[in-house]
Amino acid sequence: MTHPYLDYQATTPCEPAVVEAMAPYWSELFANPSSRLHRPGLEAATAVERAREQLAAQLGVSIERVVFTSGATEANNLALKGLAEARQHLGRHLITVATEHKAVLDTMRELERRGFALTVLPVGADGLLDLGDLVAALRHDTILVSVMAANNEIGVLQPLAAIGSLCRASGVAFHCDAAQAFGHMALQPDALGIDLLSMSAHKFYGPKGIGALVVGEGITLNPQQHGGGQEGGLRAGTLPVPLIVGMAKAATLALADREEREERLGALRQRLLHGLLAIEGVAVNGSLEQRLAHNLNVRIVGVDGNRLHSLLRRQLTVSGGSACSAGSPSHVLAALGLDRAAAAASVRFGLGRGTTTGDIDQAIAAVAAAVAELRQAPAAVTALDTEALRAPAPC
């Protein structure tokens, strides 16, 4: 990297120790874990089950409840579609929140097209769900509530324990997209009343292409992928042993340094916040108190967002406020009440293990310089700005 990488919520680098743990399973220990009639296959199967045991212990659940997937998007699809199909005889009403990741919102809307009723709850200007709105939305035919743990754009933490308690009292299943949360905060689904929890390894310094769904006791899902009976019949397909081993190793490392990392990154975020607030017209998007320690999302009043990001990308690796779709304004920031111009002039800073004080100071200086230039220069759309409008933002 020639300039600071501050987009750790889009993805994280794979830790060297994780790469090392995976290495043997790409070559000499390459066997299919479903081939259990010979020793190499049994060794591969043992590696998978050892990784499953590690993750289960970290989550405080039994091993059979950890289902490996290709990532949080697939886990969300399996959880939402699988639960809706399995319980449709009990009811067809689903509830989610306007600031959810597209992997949840688009899946819920697909279920709505199939005849399920969908309620999408609003959030306040702080990005938090009003529990009263959830209580009011619950119906006799509600079968599923889906609320993410930590928002991928603004880092806001929803009140999971309170939501879980309401769902339990109402006999409604509670799904939680924890892609941005696992490895960064204490998270045990049973203690929080979560029935279905999704995660993705590349968000906590593991490999891309692997994730998991944690399924609660007594929860039945209709499988969404057929053809081999792997993962207890819930997810057919040859298991990627290297990625599974890497995910478990990354989780172990993430939980080992979580508290120290949270404290260090929280201090760096405060330094970043202090420096940015010294720039006229900078404001924080979402709650600052109920937020991941490594996230900061700000808007800058009075500047053109596309030109701002054109200038920033020359010095920083950061994301805009938009979600995972080209040319579309951020649905998360819109839900907070921001108009299109304010959303476009928003910047997400995602800090991580590699972030230094120097990176933070460089980011502050880059934003200050860009804002000063934009406030002096006449508005004009350049070729680079036009390219920015077409480019998709990462999750």
- Residues that are catalytic: 324
CA angle 14, 349, 161 (to 5 degrees): 80
Extract the tokens encoding 55: 């993750």
Helix/strand/coil for 305: helix
CA angle 321, 255, 237 (to 5 degrees): 75
Extract the tokens encoding 196: 């279905």
Sheet hosting strand 66-69, strand order edge to edge: 66-69, 211-215, 196-200, 173-177, 142-146, 93-97, 117-121
Cα–Cα distance, 293 to 249 (Å, whole number): 23
Q: Please name the amino acid found at residue 359.
A: D
Rg of the chain over Cα atoms, rounded to whole angstroms, equals 22
Which residue bears the tokens 């959830």?
A: 134
**Residue (of 181, 174, 232) closest to 48 by Cα position:** 232
Contact 177, 146 (CB under 8 A): yes
- Residue 320 has φ and ψ, to the nearest 5°, of -85, -170
Contact 99, 335 (CB under 8 A): yes
Q: Contacts from 134-137 at CB under 8 Å and sequence distance 24+?
A: 134/95, 134/163, 134/166, 135/166, 137/95
Cα–Cα distance, 118 to 141 (Å, whole number): 11
Extract the tokens encoding 163: 């939501």
Contact 12, 350 (CB under 8 A): no
